[in-house]
Amino acid sequence: MAAPPGPALPSSPAGMVRQVFRHVHYENLVAGLSGGVLSTLVLHPLDLVKIRFAVSDGLDLRPKYNGILHCLVTVWQREGLRGLYQGVTPNMWGAGASWGLYFFFYSAIKAYKKEGRTENLSATEHLFSAAGAGALTLCLTNPIWVTKTRLVLQYDAGADPSKRQYRGMFDALAKIYRNEGIPGLYKGFVPGLLGTSHGALQFMAYEELKMDYNKHLNRPSDTKLNTLEYIAMAALSKIFAVVATYPYQVVRARLQDQHNRYSGVIDVISRTWRKEGVHGFYKGIIPNVLRVTPACCITFVVYENVSRFLFNFRKEKE
C-alpha cells in the first residue's frame, strides 16, 4: 500500500521555514499567552520557593528553610506580599511569551507535518514538533528567565529596597548586559535547550492521552474535551515530564544564580554530584510539582477554550 502524501519537500531550509509559517495563526499565540500569564499570577510564590530550594548549595548567605510552608511564611514575615512576588514581572513576560510562542510554533510545525495527510501524527512526530517549538521559543526568551532567577534570589530585598542589586526586570536586563554582555543573558541556555525535552515529552504525552482517550470512547481523535478532561490530560502529562527532566532545571538555576560561579554545565553537575549526590538534582521538585501541575492545567484549559473561541470567531467573520 502506498504511503500517504505529505508536504512537498522544500528546496532549502528557508523554503521549509516559509512553508511552516504558512500555518501560523495569531489565535494560538494569544491563547497560549493568556494561559501562561494567568497561571503565573496565581502560582508565582511556589515558583520562588522552587528556585530557592534548587540553588540551596550550602552558601552561608542563603536563608535556611525547613520546608515549603516554612519558606513561604518566612518570606512573608520578612518581605511581605512583595517578597513572595519578587521576579513576577519577568515570570509573567517569560511564561506568557513562552507559552504563546510555544503553541504558536508547535501548532504551525504540527500543521506542516500533517499537510496532505489524513492519519494522525505519531508520538515521535509530536515529540519532534514540540522539541522544535521549544528550541525556537528558548532562543527568544532565555534573557527573561535569567532576570527572573536573579530577581527571585535577591534575599531580603523587600526588607531594605536600597540594598537590592536589581530594581526590576528592565534594570536587571540592562545591568546583566552591561556587566556580563550577551553571554550573561544566555546563561543556562545549554541546559535550557536540553530542557526542551521537557516540553517535548509533555506535549507528546498530552496529544497521545487525548487521542487514546477519544479512541477508548469511540470518538474521532480530534474531538474537543470538556474542562475536567483537559485538566486530567494536562496534569498527567506534566507530572510525567517533570519527573523525567527535573535535574536540568536545577543545573540551569545554579548557572543563572548571581551568588555562585560555575565554569559551565559540567562544573555544575560534578560539584552538585560530589557535594549533594542524586538528591541535589531533585531539590525543589516538590514545590515545582505543586506549582507546575495546576499551572499547566490552568494554561491548557485557558488555551483550549480561548483558541476555540478565537477560531470560531474567525469562522463567523469569514
What is the pLDDT at residue 10?
Answer: 54
Question: Does residue 94 contact residue 44 with C-beta atoms inside 8 Å?
Answer: no
**Residues 62-107 pLDDT 10s:** 788 888 889 889 889 888 888 889 888 888 888 888 889 988 899 8
**Residues 117-158 pLDDT 10s:** 778 888 899 999 999 999 999 999 999 989 988 888 887 655
For the residues 160-166, what does the mean pLDDT come to? 70
User: In terms of pTM, does the model score above 0.85?
Assistant: no
**From residue 294, how far is each of 234, 236, 240, 311 by CA, in Å?**
9, 11, 14, 25
Question: Does residue 28 contact residue 99 with C-beta atoms inside 8 Å?
Answer: no
Q: Return d(Cα 18, Cα 89) in angstroms, integer.
A: 33
For the chain, give the percent of residues with pLDDT over 70.
89
- Upper half-sphere CA count for residue 219 (Cβ side, 13 Å): 11
What is the pLDDT at residue 1?
Answer: 42
Q: Return d(Cα 73, Cα 10) in angstroms, integer.
A: 57
Mean pLDDT of the chain: 84
- One-letter amino acid at 215 equals K
> What residue has cell string 518566612?
74
For the residues 300-315, what does the mean pLDDT come to? 87
Cα–Cα nearest to 104, from 29, 203, 206, 204: 29
What is the pLDDT at residue 81?
Answer: 86
Question: Does residue 199 contact residue 102 with C-beta atoms inside 8 Å?
Answer: yes
- Of the pLDDT bands very low, low, confident and very high (cuts 50, 70, 90), residue 177 is very high
For the residues 205-221, what does the mean pLDDT come to? 91
Q: Is 272 a residue whose pLDDT tops 60?
A: yes
**Residues 20-32 pLDDT 10s:** 666 667 888 888 8
For the residues 274-284, what does the mean pLDDT come to? 89
Q: Return d(Cα 295, Cα 152) in angstroms, integer.
A: 18
Q: Is 234 a residue whose pLDDT tops 60?
A: yes
For the chain, give the percent of residues with pLDDT over 90.
22
What is the pLDDT at residue 2?
Answer: 45
CATH topology (fold) of 24-155+166-317:
Mitochondrial carrier fold (1.50.40)
Neighbours of 279 (CB within 10 A): 8
**Residues 5-54 pLDDT 10s:** 555 545 555 565 566 666 667 888 888 889 888 888 888 888 888 888 87
Q: Return d(Cα 38, Cα 256) in angstroms, integer.
A: 25
What is the pLDDT at residue 3?
Answer: 46
Question: Does residue 239 contact residue 293 with C-beta atoms inside 8 Å?
Answer: yes
